[in-house]
Structure 1
């Protein structure tokens, strides 16, 4: 529609600046009006439904809350590695935080992506398998801790090691359980200390972080230690 309006304005001798303002402004008014009148009620209802599912369902059953937390934690971790983060997960976080409140998915995002990545990076600083791992791990540790965003720093370790990958998935599910069991909410893309401080359940958030960091860290350290012992034995022989 905008090209047609612009062409008509030019055809009837409307100056270029006025034609551009009319086209741009008219497009915004029409689009905004249609969204407000037709789509806004539907989108508002959908957003309320998403928040209800994440916050209120199910409140009566501890077991169901644990299952929901494990499923959400595992899905966020699994989906982020398969191109679903910016298509599905991040929009859901934005919808949940529409009113400026901390989010369940925001807390899960920080734990299962940032915490897990930080744990794997920490392990490869403490006990690296290769010298090259240390530089990547230091960068990953720094960015994850201070900016709350660098799951990619752990991808090389998860791709080359089934143990690291399995431990990361397990930590994601367990930390999701803690978040949903205690109803902790926070925000994604925050430094880890700040994500804990703004949470409405800071102790639960801290416990979820501890699980998401320590489980993959311990698994990676043990694997690297065992592989190092094997390498030393082979060299000795």
Structure 2
């Protein structure tokens, strides 16, 4: 039975699941559920995902929501397929993967999302200018976090050690929109180790596939934001 993945490629959280499915060479059926079009609140979808969010993974009778639970499941079930050992091969390695996944979920991505909202979502969706105080505050927070990453990555090639893991990949959806789509690379360019790590993970074929599918939507966001500020 083919796995079903619900969501759209312009959803960063759904992209986290799609990315790992591609990284593990897992055949899956994409079931389009667009939040922008309200498809996540239909009775049919709420019967599958009662919180009305994406992504959702359906593997036979098993249903999993929350993107990081999904990527753990995919990496574990298909550990010898595609890129091996994305969730580590020992208990110690797995503890490091989980540690950096928690940091991505609780710190890195929320800060990036706040800045994305200011630079892209507010001008495009709400016709509002970015709040300079919010931008300054969260850029400073992001810089401090990336300083810690810089120190850690001076000792290891990847976050959990010397192997690429779902902890690294989980950073891509929100990080890519901030650094690349919103064109805010300054915090990377000033940190040699973080920049090298980012170049490595964002160059992976699986992520390039996600980007190629999502790019038209991201391009429209960028154009919309630039149009607002130049009007």
Choose between structure 1 and 2: higher helix proportion: 1
TM-score (norm 1): 0.26
TM-score (norm 2): 0.26
